[in-house]
Amino acid sequence: MTSISAMFLATSSAPTPLYGVYAQLWGVSAAATSVVFGAYALALLLALLVLGRVSDHIGRRTVIWPALLVQVVAMLVFATAGGVGELLVGRVLQGLSTGAGLAAVGAALLDTDAERGRIANSAAPPIGSALGALSSAVLVTFAPMPTRLVYLVFAMVLVLQIVALSRLPETAPHTPGAVRSLRPRLHAPRRILALLGAAVPVLFSVWAVSGLFGAFGPHLATLLTGSSSPILGALPIAIVGAVAPVVAFSTAGLAGRRSLAYGITGLLMAVVVTAFSLLLGQMWLLLAGAVVAGTGFGFGFRGAMDLVLPAVEESERADTLSLLYIASYLGFGVPAIVAGIVLQSTGNLTATTLGYAVVLALLAATAAGVLRLTGDNEGTNS
């Protein structure tokens, strides 16, 4: 199941190294890239709202295998794409598939082993993002059919996962209420509202940093180096994805609130380093900013999982994970879309990215204030 979760994120980052190729072939601008990037996040949010809870009622596998099948279709759309329109279609299909499958896979991991499941839920998404971006970049650089082969390879891996899934046991019993669960709503048990209040602002913030590197990383690399190398362009988001799980695994014993606080600190430091990379025109500083961002992401994402998930019942796992992923992907997509609109108007990538960095700093300050406030309230209530 962990590999399926990672694969959902790997396919989502696969197009990132190709943005430079698309720019040369079809004239895709950085602004258009951010819109395509944001379409994925919005489609994913819609799927989470509608389908995020249904696996609690019809079983995990019943949701996961159709999601994998749609992901295969998305890969084929990308492989045959001839313009931005097809990229948008592929990204929307990806978002719907990932939104439907991610909460079900995450809940299945918790069903199997609650402690290891929390760590896997924290580590699998960034691992998938890193592997997807790097493997895509390598294939685009050194293999034939640069706009097709990577998607065909990923499609084959997804088909193998569908076959393997048929041999895994179902981990959740069928319960009534499946149709009712399809009504979009944001719901959480009252007993975890304070925990969500502490976790959600941090989740939004650290995923917004990942969104910055995912949407603008290749264009920033080109701006700083003058090179359109797919590998160089994939490095920022790949570094974030590589560092985050190392942090999540190595700090498994850290208390959730402390981990969230470290995540906020990492976010603020990443914002500063990334801003200086643009002001000084240094690629190595951009990569250093990605390392710090990955550290903050690892602390923040794992801290949110560890703080919230132990407090929910088995029948609430998919519902709660959906809420956590909704907060995450709002941060991942919305700032990138807004930045893309700004970039379309100004045409200034440096100014837009610096403005994005200011917004990230404000988000971090807000998350720190909320974390402090909820902690004080817990202390008062106790």
The model's pTM is 0.79
- Is residue 212 within 8 A of residue 353, CB to CB? The reply is yes
Residue type, position 274, single letter: T
Distances (CA, A) of 83 to 24, 56, 151, 154, 342: 11, 39, 16, 20, 23
For the CA atoms of 362, 207, 371, 255, the dihedral, rounded to the nearest 10 degrees, stands at -140
For the CA atoms of 245, 246, 248, 251, the dihedral, rounded to the nearest 10 degrees, stands at 180
Radius of gyration of the chain (CA): 20
The greatest distance separating any two alpha carbons of the chain, rounded to the nearest whole angstrom, comes to 63
Find the DSSP H helices in 177-316. 178-181, 193-225, 230-250, 256-280, 283-308
> pLDDT, tens digit, for every residue of 296-318?
999 998 898 888 888 877 777 77
Using CB atoms within 10 Å of the CB of residue 338, give its burial: 0 to 12 exposed, 13 to 18 middle, 19+ buried.
middle
Look at residue 270 in the predicted model and tell me its pLDDT.
92
Look at residue 34 in the predicted model and tell me its pLDDT.
67
Distances (CA, A) of 243 to 107, 123, 125: 24, 10, 12
Instruction: Name which of 339, 324, 237, 226 is nearest 283 in CA terms.
Output: 226
Three-state SS at 144: coil
Look at residue 274 in the predicted model and tell me its pLDDT.
92
Look at residue 382 in the predicted model and tell me its pLDDT.
37
Using CB atoms within 10 Å of the CB of residue 2, give its burial: 0 to 12 exposed, 13 to 18 middle, 19+ buried.
buried
- Is residue 237 within 8 A of residue 217, CB to CB? The reply is yes
Distances (CA, A) of 145 to 136, 151, 153, 235, 279: 12, 10, 12, 21, 37
**Helix/strand/coil (H/E/C) assignment for every residue in 145-204:** CCCCHHHHHHHHHHHHHHHHHCCCCCCCCCCCCHHHHCCCCCCCCHHHHHHHHHHHHHHH
* Token code pair at residue 176: 């009534």
Distances (CA, A) of 89 to 1, 43, 76, 86, 218: 27, 10, 11, 5, 21
pLDDT tens, per residue, the chain with 382 residues: 678 888 888 888 888 778 777 877 777 676 676 677 777 878 888 888 877 677 777 778 888 888 999 999 999 999 998 887 888 899 899 988 988 888 788 878 887 777 777 777 777 888 888 888 888 888 888 888 888 899 999 999 999 998 888 777 776 667 766 677 667 666 677 788 888 888 888 889 888 888 888 778 888 888 999 887 888 888 888 899 889 888 888 887 788 889 999 999 999 999 999 999 999 999 999 999 999 999 999 999 889 888 888 887 777 777 788 788 888 888 887 887 788 788 878 888 899 999 988 998 998 888 888 888 876 555 444 3
Look at residue 381 in the predicted model and tell me its pLDDT.
46
Look at residue 224 in the predicted model and tell me its pLDDT.
92
Look at residue 2 in the predicted model and tell me its pLDDT.
75
- Is residue 96 within 8 A of residue 74, CB to CB? The reply is no
Tell me how many degrees the CA angle 333-235-121 measures, rounded to the nearest 5: 55
Three-state SS at 77: helix
Using CB atoms within 10 Å of the CB of residue 365, give its burial: 0 to 12 exposed, 13 to 18 middle, 19+ buried.
middle
* Token code pair at residue 193: 């509202």
- Is residue 81 within 8 A of residue 147, CB to CB? The reply is yes
User: Considering Cα of 178, then 184, then 190, then 194, what sign does the dihedral take?
Assistant: positive
